Structure 1
Amino acid sequence: MRNRNAAFRPARLALVAGVFGAALLTGCVVAPVPGAVYNDPYGYPTQTTVYAPVAPPTPYYEVQPALPYPGAIWISGYWNWSGNRHQWVPGRYERPRHGYRWQPHRWDRSPRGGWQLQGGGWMR
């Protein structure tokens, strides 16, 4: 009888080790790095006006990555105003919207002084 139980010990040990290993590996999950967050996920212009007391820096030169899918268009990055300073919003690829064209962001002098952010959305 001891010989029969002794024969099952390696199998039990392997089973326990496999279950324990699988339980450990469930904690090995690689979460994707979050991308840039945009206020309007669909990119349609809103009536919100952004004012800044100082002119934005010159735009960064961005290297466009390879096309992620056929027909994608590159939306250039721009300087946004947030938290009393300019913050760079990186460029990205988007699917074209049927019947719309992309209007890039731009900074214009404000009639009330300072600078005003214009555009940045799909226009008919």
Structure 2
Amino acid sequence: MRIATFALAALAAATTLPAFAQVNININVPGLVQVAPPPPRYEVMPGPRPGQVWVPGRWVWNERDYVWHGGRWERDRPDYVYAPGRWVQAGGGWRWVDDQWKPGKPPKHGKHDRGHDHDDDGYHCPPGQAKKGRC
């Protein structure tokens, strides 16, 4: 009887089912959000202010959800053009690219009466902006 019990125990030990392990790896990349931002909200830009540039509102990630930050006025910088920030897809998630001031001349209105995208002084209107009335 003892031999049968020992043999049964040895057989059970030899035929154990393989264990399956599941590993979850969550890599948190700073600045990368896994959830796509909502579409931008429509904001009515207030009337122009001399020496000011309108900075449009944007969605901000607060580590749990997106929160809307409304637009604001910012002091103009001579010889610079404001480029608004934007959400871009990157590395399997979403990343915010900060707004910035780029060296250059602001668009001049009324200079494109011949259908050109540039002035005689070298300013080049970005693609698609002239059709939108921004250059």
TM-score (ref. length: structure 2): 0.48
Contact 1:71–1:96 at 8 Å: present in 2 too? Answer: yes
2:56 matched to 1:56?
no
- Superposed CA RMSD in Å reads 1.8
Query: Identity, % of aligned pairs?
Result: 39
How many corresponding residue pairs? 74
Counterpart selection for 2:79 from 78, 89, 99? 99
Counterpart selection for 1:83 from 36, 44, 63? 63
Give the structure with the higher percent helix: 1
- How far the C-alpha of 1:99 sits from its partner, in A, is 3.0
1:59-78 equivalences under 5 Å are 59-67=40-48, 69-78=49-58
SS in 1 for 2:38: coil
Structure 2 gap segments, 5+ residues each:
1-29, 104-135
SS in 2 for 1:87: strand
Structure 1 gap segments, 5+ residues each:
1-48
Q: Which structure carries more relative contact order (alpha carbon 8 Å, separation 6+)? A: 1
Deviation per CA, 1:15-36, whole angstroms, max 9, x where unpaired?
Answer: xxxxxxxxxxxxxxxxxxxxxx
- How far the C-alpha of 1:82 sits from its partner, in A, is 1.1
Larger radius of gyration: 2
2:98 matched to 1:119?
yes
TM-score (ref. length: structure 1): 0.52
